[in-house]
Amino acid sequence: MTEEKSQSRAESTKVAYPPGDGSYIVPVLHARLPARAVELGFWGVLAGAALMDAIDLPLALAVGVGVVVARHRLR
């Protein structure tokens, strides 16, 4: 890849929204999602995967506890 292409690709991936505004940006659609919607989606998918036996319940619990601990330590 040439330097021009890599530079233009880097410019096109820059986000026009200020960081820390409490939302997530969907990479392909460039649409904003509120943080609460992303959190609910994560917990819903994790619970659904555990209920449908796609992952074991102890693994789902470990992932859930890890996420809660990691988010608590970031605050």
Per residue, what are the HEC states of 2-50?
Answer: CHHHHHHHHHHCCCCCCCCCCEEEECCCCEEEEHHHHHHHHHHHHHHHH
pLDDT recorded at residue 8: 55
- Higher-pLDDT residue of 75, 58: 58
Residue type, 53: D
Whether the predicted pLDDT of 57 surpasses 90: yes
Whether the predicted pLDDT of 53 surpasses 80: yes
Tens digit of each residue's pLDDT (9 = 90 or more) over 9-49: 555 555 554 556 678 888 888 888 888 888 999 999 999 99
Asked whether the whole model's pTM tops 0.75, one would answer no
CA distance linking residue 22 with residue 45, whole number of Å: 21
